[in-house]
Structure 1
Amino acid sequence: MTSQITVSVAGSERAVDQGTTAGDLFADDRAVVVARVGGELRDLTHPLADGDVVEPVLVSEPDGLDVLRHSCAHVLAQAVQETFPDARLGIGPPIRDGFYYDFDVAEPFTPDDLKRLEKAMQKIINTGQTFARREVDDDAARAELAGEPYKLELIGLKGGAAGDAADGAAVEVGGSQLTIYDNVDRSGEVVWGDLCRGPHLPSTKIIGNAFKLMRSAAAYWRGSEKNPQLQRVYGTAWPDKAELKAYLDRLAEAEKRDHRRLGAEMDLYSFPEVLGAGLPLFHPKGGVLKRVMEDYARQRHIDEGFQYVGTPHVSKEALFHTSGHLPYYEDTMFPAMEEDGQRYFLKAMNCPMHNLIYSSQQRSYRDLPLRLFEFGHVYRYEKSGVVHGLTRVRGLEMDDSHSYVTKEQAPGEIKHLLDFVLSLLRDFGLDDFYLELSTRDETGAKKDKFIGSDEQWAEATAVLEEVATESGLELVADPGGAAFYGPKISVQARDAIGRTWQMSTVQYDFNQPERFGLEYQAADGTRQQPVMIHSAKFGSIERFIGVLVEHYAGQFPPWLAPVQVLGVPVAEDFDDYLSEVAARLRAQGVRVEVDTSDDRFPKKIRNASRSKAPFILIAGGEDRDAGAVSFRFRDGSQENAVPVDQAVERIVAAIRDRVQV
């Protein structure tokens, strides 16, 4: 007689035969690709034990999509080694919207190579190979993978150490037990295998044909420029062709909105190679955009009770030891400079210097909250592979603020900052948000990357969570994503085409006040330690501009547009007339230009459209005779014979009221 065990499925207990697998429970639902057993993702071949709590995971769910994409990455690796037998394997994790796999190959992959690999992958997928999990010890893994030098480096890195080894390495060796996944054909023969933590799909057939290899690029092994350069192949995979097409359509729209291309077309900024990666130049029109944003944010901070300060770009290293950033943050700082036997660093953050301002005089509880703010220029040595236009730079300007409060004031100050952040983002046209609560990693080797006691972290996290929950916005957990000195709330904003960007942050810091010995005199005469709340509304000005360029596709609302009005005379005879109209607009503070070039009128109109100015004013003989202008709008529509007084009033009102046209 077969013995039975009891498992819990969808909240109800079921008696099943011993040896039943997770897949047996969900055999009738082909959309189930893995199971969550006791909170851990498991293959459907996983045998269940008495008392297990089992949940189905669909291919359409985030965890299911990750498994689909991870399995597709393995199929890619198999196809590469079948097509290029000398290729050696790096790592192949799922990533947002897709996957990648790194390879050591003699020559970089070409677009034709990617097409060949797609065909090879489809052939593998169509054969319906299964993924079979096999546990191995370190010695057996080394013997089996003797020809894979990069895999050999990862063997022995289990648990939390895997994540420290390289981004994505946890999918290879992140568990407590090394495992190899064999690809088995229908005859039962093992045709390929890879070191992997898993889980995987039951069969390659589930991948179907809704995948695509997107591009290849160079990538250093384990992210270090000291290591060999591998070839990284990026791909995407979706549950069906319709979702793949929708994703590719989104990419096409994103390409049209690429802030690097639009920035060049609109003459906003550039990235000269002679300066170095991640160091943008703002041209006059980009300078206008940047100044308008800064002026707005500066006044908003003053209105919210902040005092404007200024700090230098460089400091002796002792300051960053006191703050705790050295050695925690040194890898992302530019190398030290030596002067008179002292080491100096370009600052990567402003908070240590704000602490010096706080400590420059004795403080009382009556001074708190004390709110300090600056546009601080900081420098971060981002790896060359992640530098990207304005959205990931090495030299950046932050609207950085720090509030010094009593512990009792902290919840109210965090709410004040969160309300401030959300109102600012809404003013710039971003109004679809959710919040992310970043906490420290409570497990494994990464826990020692965070300073402070368990009690301090628990108290700070509880305060942030309470305020975030009270906001009514969706709150998503981000375990391990905190700063080393305290937890944070991040505002995640969705743009016009649904992409999510991390924008503003509010961080609770109990560590730096202690390290700097910051104090205030309490009402009872005792000396107390303040809490420090970090907040950045734009984050990086550069990044925020890049996001806005893509959000608006360069078509900024009138108040923000570098050129708000562009005058286009039908012929040279009307240059002076439009220049007079422009002068009236300038007197009202409007940013206006008139195209008096020798170009013919049709070309001027094409150039005006590319400029993306909110208002194009056209004037010919009838307009001049009537004391009027014609409006041409961004959608190509036109309104003729608008009296100049009315035109000026409409433009000024649109700018004042911050409307989008």
Structure 2
Amino acid sequence: MAPISLTFPDGNKREFEAGVTAAEVASDISTSLAKKAISATVNGAHWDLQWPIDADADIAIHTMQDDEQALELIRHDLAHIMARAVQELWPDVKVTIGPVIANGWYYDFDRAEPFTPEDLGAIEAKMKDIINARDAVRTEVWSRADAIAHYEKTGENYKVELVNAIPDDGQPIRMYWHGDWQDLCRGPHLQHTGQVPADGFKLMSVAGAYWRGDSNREMLQRIYGVGFKNRNDLKAHLTMLEEAAKRDHRKLGREMELFHFQEEAPGMVFWHPNGWTIYRALEDYMRRKLTAAGYKEIKTPQVVDRKLWEASGHWDKYRENMFITEVDEEHANEKRVNALKPMNCPCHVQVFNQGLKSYRDLPLRLAEFGSCHRYEAHGALHGLMRVRGFTQDDAHIFCTEDQIADECARFIALLSDIYRDTGFTKFDIKLSTRPDVRIGSDEQWDKAETALEQAILTVRNDFEIDPGEGAFYGPKLDFKLTDAIGREWQCGTFQADFQLPERLDASYIAADGDKHRPVMLHRAILGSFERFIGILIENYAGKLPFWLAPRQVVVASIVSDADDYVAEVVETLIAAGIRAEADTRNEKINYKVREHSLGKVPVILAVGGREVEDKTVSVRRLGEKQTSVVTLDEIVETLKQEALAPDLK
């Protein structure tokens, strides 16, 4: 066969015959690499060691030391091994699909009987037997007809449907064997089952799932698992899940009496006084930060005629996620079709369009705590993290192309301050660049992408570029913050938009006296108040910073003779701007302390006979066993400073 040239990561090149496999390349380099190799990257694609390479290419050989590739393969193989284990235990079960997901995998099965916790234990044991057998993994390329015939013969009707759904574009239909068990798969995979760590996985749960996500199709059973390179990594992940369960904002929301949901308004928050106190404290803080940063706050309608959504393009692209209303307009003898706004952008352009704008008015920063509604599938709703009604800390900046870099740098500085003030010192930035399908000239895209990159570099040099993942109307930045247990949350965003000003006819008079289109910068920091408050609750495990805590101080009586002094202390604290309340119930002080600690009250002031006599209080802080006795004046002054939001200190 004709020779081909393979280029390695260090720049060296070697010639091989066309059709050489990555396994043969690894063996040619060294015997030790051949033993350690698990996969390759060929021209940027993850490549099975068994697949032939037919043309010149860049190549890198991977071992278990390469975390990204190793974890993908481990989890992918575990999905197949689990499906094999299920069919060995219950031969009548039909298999469907089993993709890799974050931290693990799932596989959907068609089984008459529901899987039980005992079944999961049996499946795990069988999986370990398969791993310990070290069965070879092999692959073949089949024709569509042969694949369909095979699955019709074995009665795997779901696989027949999957093969028929594969585009007939010449791409190979790959069949994989793990030992004698076979599955349809695009690969790649490890080379034998023994390469999967037998102590690095665990089956987690079973859930229902419709075949191909269609509620009119069969209901299947989905088994979820997690997989890692070793027992320690698995243990660390399970520990994190335990900690996350303790921090679940829905559980803490009940304990702290913050909010609730009910079926009469799915995905809509019922804020209780304690929860609304957090919301208002955060809103007041954000309003002050935005005002100081030069934003002008506006308020726009929640219900808007479909004509505006058609003009903006949202009606075509987003209608299925919009709540639609129809009203009879008696004066016009017609029905008016309206939509609850899913975002604020088109309405902000309407504010910009009122009156003639000059280049001297730019940049114009318009902010709104905009109430939005989006139809989310019922199964996707998740406490405060995924709702149908929410309030964005939204703003749009109208500026010239030359002002993009400065506005972006200002935004990143503001975002950094706010994240730090709310307790998040680590966040990552991703720059998504031009997609293949886009609007605007290459010159505009060059200028916008360069401006965003330069703006990031003014504050940090570690960011990720995501090629081709920008919006069709412009490049964007996404900001992911990391919480106390290492989870990432995508909250902030900054997007450059060339399209909406054009569609909605926004313009300003430039220095040359002609009309020009402004660039519209979409930006948010919290994302939404609801979700960000959920993140805050979980980050702090309910023990919110004093300035955000809904119940900052409880003054609890030890004896009934102290009730009058309790009232005096509470009154003094409230006058100093501290959220305080009294607990004079006829209960023991230890009972009161336990109850208010469960409610995550930061400070409990206990008052007994001695405190009344000395005009002092006994101070107990949440999470601390020690108490201290201080004068009323001292504690008021201390808590008065702690109650200030970070921007007021």
TM-score calculated relative to the size of structure 2: 0.92
Q: Once the two structures are superposed, what CA deviation does each residue of 1:393-447 show, in whole Å capped at 9, x if it has no partner? A: 11111111000001111111111112111111111011101101234543xxxx4
2:541 partner amino acid: A
1:169 aligns with: none
Is 1:256–2:264 an aligned residue pair?
no
Q: Once the two structures are superposed, what CA deviation does each residue of 1:57-115 show, in whole Å capped at 9, x if it has no partner? A: 34352232112111111112222233333433332211111111222332443222222
Is 1:28–2:32 an aligned residue pair?
yes
User: Which of 481, 487, 509 is residue 493 of structure 1 equivalent to?
Assistant: 481
2:414 aligns with: 420
Partner Cα distance (1:589, 1:184) in 2: 68
Partner Cα distance (2:127, 2:274) in 1: 48
User: Which of 590, 594, 604 is residue 616 of structure 1 equivalent to?
Assistant: 604
Is 1:10–2:4 an aligned residue pair?
no
Change (3 A) 1:250 1:9: same
Partner Cα distance (1:336, 1:104) in 2: 40
**Cα shift at 1:284:** 0.5
Is 1:555–2:553 an aligned residue pair?
no
Is 1:66–2:65 an aligned residue pair?
no
**Any conservation in 1 of the 2:81–2:178 contact (CA below 8 Å)?**
no
1:101 aligns with: 107
1:289 aligns with: 278
Matches within 5 A, 1:364-513: 364-439=358-433, 441-442=435-436, 447=437, 451-452=439-440, 456-479=444-467, 481-513=469-501
1:219 aligns with: 209
2:88 aligns with: 82
Partner Cα distance (1:527, 1:114) in 2: 67
Is 1:206–2:195 an aligned residue pair?
yes
2:636 aligns with: 648
2:163 aligns with: 155
SS in 2 for 1:416: helix
Matches within 5 A, 1:100-139: 100-139=106-145
Change (3 A) 1:4 1:512: closer
**Any conservation in 1 of the 2:294–2:365 contact (CA below 8 Å)?**
yes
2:352 aligns with: 358
**Any conservation in 2 of the 1:364–1:520 contact (CA below 8 Å)?**
yes
Q: Once the two structures are superposed, what CA deviation does each residue of 1:312-361 show, in whole Å capped at 9, x if it has no partner? A: 22222221121112222223323554654332222111101111111122
SS in 1 for 2:287: helix
Q: What is the aligned-residue RMSD (CA, Å)?
A: 2.4
Partner Cα distance (2:351, 2:555) in 1: 49
Flag as ranges the 4+ runs of structure 1 deviating above 6 A: none
Change (3 A) 1:103 1:344: farther
User: Which of 38, 57, 60 is residue 52 of structure 1 equivalent to?
Assistant: 57
Change (3 A) 1:414 1:184: closer
Runs of 5+ consecutive residues of structure 1 not aligned to the other structure: 160-172, 186-190
Partner Cα distance (2:222, 2:254) in 1: 28
Q: Compare 633-642 and 616-625 and name the one that shifted more.
A: 633-642
Q: Compare 383-392 and 393-402 and name the one that shifted more.
A: 383-392
Q: Once the two structures are superposed, what CA deviation does each residue of 1:628-657 show, in whole Å capped at 9, x if it has no partner? A: 111112223333321111111111122237
1:596 aligns with: 584
Q: Compare 348-357 and 224-233 and name the one that shifted more.
A: 224-233
**Cα shift at 1:547:** 0.4
Change (3 A) 1:547 1:458: same
User: Which of 265, 286, 290 is residue 275 of structure 1 equivalent to?
Assistant: 265
2:22 partner amino acid: A
1:165 aligns with: none
User: Which of 575, 586, 593 is residue 574 of structure 2 equivalent to?
Assistant: 586
**Any conservation in 2 of the 1:558–1:564 contact (CA below 8 Å)?**
yes
Change (3 A) 1:537 1:184: closer
Partner Cα distance (1:520, 1:466) in 2: 26
2:42 partner amino acid: V
SS in 1 for 2:38: strand
Partner Cα distance (2:565, 2:63) in 1: 66
Partner Cα distance (1:176, 1:471) in 2: 48
Change (3 A) 1:93 1:84: same
Partner Cα distance (1:364, 1:92) in 2: 57
SS in 2 for 1:430: coil
SS in 1 for 2:512: coil
Runs of 5+ consecutive residues of structure 2 not aligned to the other structure: 329-333
**Cα shift at 1:517:** 1.1
**Any conservation in 1 of the 2:404–2:452 contact (CA below 8 Å)?**
no
1:218 partner amino acid: G
